[in-house]
Structure 1
Amino acid sequence: MAASSPSRKPTLPAMSPPPCEVAAPDTTAPGAPEAAIDAGGATVTGRGEAGATVTVRDAAGIVIASVVVAADGSFTTPLSPAQAVAAASPVTQTDAAGNVSAAVQIASPTSPRR
């Protein structure tokens, strides 16, 4: 009787799982925008995070302007209504994930004295 060779199990190459991307949610608020109001109290200009939405509120907290920051980081928006009385207006920016920055206060010009 011929000697039989030991039984061998075939070995398979080690398999790695396919690569996958894991994206963590964006929970970081953008920095406060840089903003300034013109002398007439009608326009706010500044710089922010490209694609973020800049919101300007009046002293009572009512939204008086909203604009998307351009790809170069700049923005300009008219105020409605113009802010002719000296008052602080908070300006924030909100990124695509909905994170809101800290507010920066811009001072509206003082109305002319008579």
Structure 2
Amino acid sequence: MSEIRENLVYSDDHEWALKVEGNVVRVGISDHAQCQLGDIVFVELPEAGAAVSAGDSIGTIESVKTVSELYSPVSGTITKVNNSLEDQPELVNGEPYDGGWIIEVEVEGELEEALGKLLTAESYRAKVD
């Protein structure tokens, strides 16, 4: 069974978001998603400074099985990318909620409203179980 953390919110596309400070959220893919993908061998990261809208593709993630799109769960500006994934894409498999995060986004507009459009841990669990 996949780990679903209670302190996160989730998108229908299996990304998670966590408020880190101010209006900034950290984004990654869920444990469920990384399990479905299998061994991750490459992560295409977006550029810091890029504007994104909720649902926009922000890159791709490649596993031995497939290539999948990564989507932003919120609208705003990418403030940071996890460059560690360039040399260690397997961090997404081993630490999807910690060292394997993908980007940080400064949310445009009201943070709580943006996060409120996403799934709670309970709702996400019902979706994937």
TM-score by structure 2 length?
0.28
| Bigger Rg, which one | 1
TM-score by structure 1 length?
0.30
If asked which structure has higher relative contact order (CA below 8 Å, sep 6+), I would say 2
